């Protein structure tokens, strides 16, 4: 368990979560790589110039984005008659299906963009190799979405977050930034509408409070450094409180935008104008944020209330189901997609992937803790075919299913091996 659940590096964070699909997929194609390789590749890929038909969406986007030097003015668009040359990312951002049209990636900030993937546990720091949650995202990303980063395809806009990816990203943001999100959105829920500036003014006090409460829980030198970084950022943010922004890259803006814009992609926040930074919490967002804030511990919400809350918020009308016939095939399918070379897979990742598919495909749900207890019972029945790894704190970490057990389930037979 992390000492502080706070996204550490918010400078030039990606506003549009869709970019993480490509970045994570790219990391999966390397064993290890460098910040320069993946950062520059991401920016070069989405900045590639393409020739596309002119549409009302494109003209409207260009009108609102006159400050982008790379984009032609409306007058030049009209004189070009049928087509226009734009960056790939501009073509996707102009799509009316995108709830927010801000967040274009800038070439000179390539070294900053990969940090969100690190902060959300998708890729490993320093080596930039894939982590379990990154593999999970890849499994929830259609190959046509990745192809759309290479060749423009308006039918598969990769910046759109689908229903399965939505569940994963909500889980990750709450898991890794929950200490900020809980107090921040308790304030947002009190506002009818808010802006990046009005909500951002609360961050300094939130940072100071997190740092103060965390001092008694310090376990290492890294913890001390993280607390100090939080205090240093809080001092900078405090100087911005109540002051107008002098540009889009102020310290307050950098720290708050990543706590708002991704939730627009996830349907928890709405924008009346997709080009402006004015917001209101959606009906779904109100349900999820309220339940999250009321939970005493972040782990309690994620392990015991996550899927039931999302079920209510997004109106899936899914039914709780803990029957063997439904859960075992789901667990095995997720395990087979996530297992490593030695045959082990993260229990949390297996349960999360299975839970997402259960609610979106079968309209049934279970909580992660319930899924873990189910696996424990299964292991007691079939100890030779269901094996666990346990950390030094006694927490279950990895699972491995025996090949005979997997085969029996796939073939529709009940396993009758040694008990």
List own/partner pairs for 339-344 with CB under 8 A and 24 or more apart. 339/400, 342/400, 343/400, 344/389, 344/398, 344/399, 344/400
Q: How many separate helices (H) and strands (E) can be counted in the chain?
A: 21, 10
Euclidean distance between CA atoms 411 and 125, whole angstroms:
41
Domain residue spans in the chain?
A: 18-156, 319-410
DSSP string covering 307-352, please?
Answer: HHHHHHHTT---EE---HHHHHHHHHHHHHHH--TTS-EEHHHHHH
pTM over 0.85: yes
Q: Is 72 helix (H, G, I), strand (E, B) or coil?
A: coil
Euclidean distance between CA atoms 408 and 170, whole angstroms:
35
Euclidean distance between CA atoms 203 and 373, whole angstroms:
38
pLDDT by residue for the chain (419 residues), tens digit each?
A: 678 899 988 888 889 999 999 999 999 988 788 989 999 999 999 999 999 999 889 988 988 875 555 554 444 554 456 888 999 999 999 999 999 999 999 999 999 999 999 999 999 998 999 999 999 999 999 999 999 999 999 999 999 999 999 999 999 999 999 999 999 999 999 999 999 999 999 999 999 999 999 988 888 888 898 899 999 999 999 999 988 877 767 889 999 999 999 999 999 999 999 999 999 999 999 999 999 999 999 999 999 999 999 999 999 999 999 998 899 999 999 999 999 999 999 999 999 999 999 999 999 999 999 999 999 999 998 888 899 998 887 788 999 998 777 666 665 555 454 43
Burial 222-255 (b: 16+ CB within 10 A, else e): ebeebbebbeebbeebbebeeeeeeeeebbbbbb
Cα separation values, 198 from 17, 184, 194, 257, 267, Å: 23, 11, 6, 12, 21
Euclidean distance between CA atoms 249 and 257, whole angstroms:
10
User: pLDDT value at position 382?
Assistant: 86
DSSP letter assigned to residue 38: H
| Beta bridge pairs of residue 84 | 52
| Residue 137, Cβ density class (10 Å: 0-12 exposed, 13-18 middle, ≥19 buried) | buried
User: pLDDT value at position 417?
Assistant: 47
User: pLDDT value at position 372?
Assistant: 96
| Farthest CA pair distance, the chain | 77
Euclidean distance between CA atoms 322 and 312, whole angstroms:
18
Q: Is 401 helix (H, G, I), strand (E, B) or coil?
A: strand
Given a contact cutoff of 8 angstroms between Cβ atoms, the answer to whether 195 and 248 are in contact is no
Residue 315 in tokens = 């109106």
Q: Which CATH number fits domain 319-410: 1.10.10.1420, 3.40.630.10, 1.10.10.10, 2.40.50.140?
A: 1.10.10.1420
User: pLDDT value at position 81?
Assistant: 64
Euclidean distance between CA atoms 159 and 93, whole angstroms:
8
Residue 200 in tokens = 């951002």
User: pLDDT value at position 409?
Assistant: 64
């Amino acid at each position: 368990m992390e000492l502080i659940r706070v996204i550490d590096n918010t400078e030039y964070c990606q506003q549009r979560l869709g970019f993480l699909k490509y970045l994570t997929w790219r990391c999966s194609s390397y064993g290890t790589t460098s910040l320069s390789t993946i950062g520059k590749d991401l920016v070069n890929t989405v900045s590639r110039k393409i020739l596309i038909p002119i549409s009302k969406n494109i003209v409207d986007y260009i009108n609102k984005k006159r400050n982008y030097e790379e984009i032609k003015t409306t007058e030049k668009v009209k004189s070009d008659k049928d087509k226009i040359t734009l960056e790939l990312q501009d073509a996707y951002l102009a799509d009316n299906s995108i709830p927010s049209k801000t967040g274009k990636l800038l070439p000179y900030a390539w070294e900053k963009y990969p940090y969100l993937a690190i902060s959300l546990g998708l890729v490993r720091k320093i080596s930039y190799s894939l982590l379990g949650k990154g593999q999970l995202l890849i499994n929830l990303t259609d190959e046509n979405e990745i192809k759309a980063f290479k060749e423009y395809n308006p039918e598969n806009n990769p910046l759109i977050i689908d229903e399965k990816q939505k569940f994963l990203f909500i889980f990750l943001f709450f898991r890794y930034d929950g200490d900020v999100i809980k107090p921040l959105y308790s304030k947002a829920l009190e506002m009818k509408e808010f802006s990046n500036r009005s909500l951002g003014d609360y961050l300094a006090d939130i940072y100071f409070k997190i740092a103060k409460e965390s001092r008694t829980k310090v376990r290492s030198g890294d913890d001390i450094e993280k607390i100090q970084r939080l205090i240093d950022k809080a001092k900078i943010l405090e100087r911005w409180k109540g002051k107008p922004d002098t540009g889009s890259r102020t310290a307050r803006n950098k720290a708050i935008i990543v706590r708002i814009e991704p939730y627009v992609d996830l349907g928890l926040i709405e924008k009346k104008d997709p080009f402006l930074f004015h917001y209101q919490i959606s009906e779904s967002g109100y349900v999820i944020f309220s339940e999250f804030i009321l939970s005493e511990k972040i782990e309690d919400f994620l392990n015991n209330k996550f899927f039931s809350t999302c079920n209510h918020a997004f109106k899936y009308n899914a039914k709780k189901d803990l029957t063997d016939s439904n859960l075992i095939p789901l667990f095995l399918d997720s395990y087979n997609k996530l297992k490593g070379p030695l045959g082990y897979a993260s229990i949390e990742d297996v349960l999360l992937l299975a839970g997402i598919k259960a609610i979106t495909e079968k309209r049934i749900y279970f909580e992660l803790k319930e899924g873990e207890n189910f696996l424990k019972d299964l292991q007691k029945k079939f100890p030779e075919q269901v094996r666990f790894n346990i950390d030094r704190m006694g927490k279950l970490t990895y699972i491995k299913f025996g090949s005979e057990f997997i085969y029996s389930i796939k073939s529709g037979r009940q396993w009758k091996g040694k008990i």
